[in-house]
């Protein structure tokens, strides 16, 4: 593919390419000399799952791969222990090396659901950051000023609000930039919250006599709540390794205004198809529910295949539209202390089974109409049942929580 066509293809959906003319020049040079660009993406293993949010930049890295360029995946096993301050309003809690290592082991297998493993260069930044001595750190810190650090929006805001900023947080962009020096990156990918860090990498490369990388940012995917960016710590995420049914149900819960962004950033839908969906939603000729279903099928299909996506939609309808019970809800034993009593108070049962946080929360959920027994709504917060009448029954709370009551470990109550 000619360099200009590569440029147009790769920059689709990008927020900023800094500088864009340098990327085009690098692509043109690559096309002439046959040397692929080294395209870097660094991900800190601070959580155990690859989310659709992470997948946005991973899918862009795969686009570079598919055009013949080298994907350099940096596993930030050292920087994860420092903590990226990007977008944070306060100092982050540090992770232990054991936590980071456990997350990294789980994440690597998920990366290959998007990237082509044989064509991916995997590097761990502890290999070069951990051995750094004080002299190395002093040389690194001498290459950037505090004034430049305070140009960063989140640092400037915290400084203005008299909130603490640790020296370690100032080090993070420098350590990430050092990664670019070590792997001699031509391009570095990241979310929009990473732009400052990516530009620091350019400065460090220039300082070391290397050709500066191009900073290439992608949009941050908004989470299921429709407000904040997708995050495992906030619980508003979809994991690419989740079962198709779970993915489909989560995707059906997003606000209507996220249909187009999710289609654009999480699937390979063409610009023409995307434009048609956007126009249909805008003029009312398309129903949001139908477009949301198509979006959910498309995303589930990316990770589990079209057949699994169709089956997930059918099961979703069975439970939520047709109000039928799922075929295989998890079995949960009736707690022995409840099984031995004359009756079971439903709010307490919900709390004991983890379907409510407390008896009071269980009463509230019942009063709100969120609780069903064998598909029939329960509206009395004081409802009680004989233990024997509960065994084998399905208790549900909301749309996602289903359990079947199994006999207690002491045997089925009589």
- What is the DSSP track for 86-149? TT-SSPPPPPPHHHHHHHHHHHHHHHTTTS-GGGEEEEETHHHHTT--HHHHHHHHTTS-HHHH
Residue pair 111/58 in contact (Cβ under 8 Å)? The answer is yes
Whole-angstrom distance, CA of residue 196 vs CA of residue 173? 8
> Tokens at residue 347, please?
């709010």
pLDDT for 375: 75
SS (H, E, C) 14-43: CCEEECHHHHHHHHHHHHHHCCCCEEEEEE
User: For the chain, what are the domain ranges?
Assistant: 3-218, 244-321, 331-406
Q: What is the pTM of this model?
A: 0.76
Q: What's the mean pLDDT in 58-65?
A: 97
Residue pair 46/100 in contact (Cβ under 8 Å)? The answer is yes
Tell me which residue of 244, 242, 241 sits closest to 305, measured CA to CA.
244
Q: Is 196 exposed, middle or buried (0-12, 13-18, 19+ CB in 10 A)?
A: buried
CATH class of 3-218: alpha beta
Residues 151-210: tens digit of each pLDDT:
777 788 888 888 888 888 889 999 999 999 999 999 999 999 999 999 999 999 999 999
Helix count (H) and strand count (E) of the chain? 20, 13
Residues 225-252: tens digit of each pLDDT:
999 999 888 889 999 999 999 899 899 9
Tell me which residue of 330, 332, 327 sits closest to 316, measured CA to CA.
327
Whole-angstrom distance, CA of residue 90 vs CA of residue 164? 7
Architecture of the CATH domain 244-321: Orthogonal Bundle (1.10)
Q: Which residue bears the tokens 């070391």?
A: 208
Sign of the four-CA dihedral 6, 120, 251, 367: negative
Average model confidence (pLDDT) across the chain: 88
Residue 32 reports pLDDT greater than 50: yes
Provide the CB-side half-sphere exposure for 244 (13 A, CA).
Answer: 19
Greatest CA separation for the chain: 83
Question: Do 331-406 and 3-218 have the same topology in CATH?
Answer: no
Residue 137 reports pLDDT greater than 50: yes
Whole-angstrom distance, CA of residue 305 vs CA of residue 299? 9
Residues 391-414: tens digit of each pLDDT:
888 888 876 678 888 876 444 443
Architecture of the CATH domain 331-406: Roll (3.10)
User: pLDDT confidence of 321, banded at 50, 70, 90?
Assistant: low
Residue 77 reports pLDDT greater than 50: yes
């Amino acid at each position: 593919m000619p360099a200009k066509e590569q440029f147009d293809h790769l920059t689709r959906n990008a927020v900023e390419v800094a500088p864009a003319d340098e990327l085009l020049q690098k692509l043109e040079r690559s096309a002439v000399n046959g040397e692929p660009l080294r395209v870097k993406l660094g991900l800190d293993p601070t959580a155990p799952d690859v989310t659709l949010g992470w997948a946005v930049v991973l899918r862009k890295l795969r686009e570079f791969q598919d055009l013949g360029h080298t994907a350099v995946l940096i596993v930030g096993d050292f920087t994860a222990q420092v903590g990226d301050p990007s977008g944070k309003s306060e100092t982050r809690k540090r992770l232990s090396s054991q936590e980071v290592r456990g997350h990294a082991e789980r994440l690597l297998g998920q990366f290959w659901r998007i990237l082509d493993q044989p064509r991916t260069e995997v590097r761990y930044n502890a290999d070069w950051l951990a051995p750094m001595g004080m002299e190395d750190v002093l040389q690194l810190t001498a290459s950037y000023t505090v004034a430049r650090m305070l140009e960063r929006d989140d640092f400037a805001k915290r400084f203005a609000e008299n909130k603490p900023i640790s020296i370690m947080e100032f080090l993070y962009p420098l350590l990430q930039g050092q990664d670019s020096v070590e792997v001699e990156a031509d391009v570095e990918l990241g979310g929009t919250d990473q732009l400052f860090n990516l530009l620091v990498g350019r400065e460090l490369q220039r300082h070391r006599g290397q050709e500066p990388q191009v900073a290439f940012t992608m949009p941050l995917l908004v989470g299921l709540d429709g407000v904040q960016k997708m995050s495992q710590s906030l619980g508003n995420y979809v994991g690419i390794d989740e079962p198709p049914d779970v993915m489909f149900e989560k995707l059906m819960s997003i606000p209507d205004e996220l249909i187009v962004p999710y289609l654009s950033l999480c699937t390979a839908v063409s610009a023409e198809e995307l434009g048609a969906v956007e126009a249909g939603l805008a003029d009312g000729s398309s129903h949001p529910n139908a477009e949301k279903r198509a979006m959910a099928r498309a995303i589930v299909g990316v990770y589990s295949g079209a057949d699994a996506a169709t089956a997930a939609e059918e099961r979703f309808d069975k439970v939520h539209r047709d109000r039928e019970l799922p075929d295989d809800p998890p079995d949960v034993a009736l707690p022995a202390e409840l099984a031995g009593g004359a009756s079971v108070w439903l709010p307490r049962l919900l709390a004991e089974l983890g379907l409510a946080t407390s008896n009071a929360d269980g009463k509230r959920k019942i009063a709100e109409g969120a609780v069903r027994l064998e598909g029939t709504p329960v509206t009395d917060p004081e409802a009680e049942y004989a233990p024997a009448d509960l065994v084998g029954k399905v208790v549900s709370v909301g749309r996602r929580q289903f359990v079947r009551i199994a006999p207690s470990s002491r045997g089925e109550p009589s």
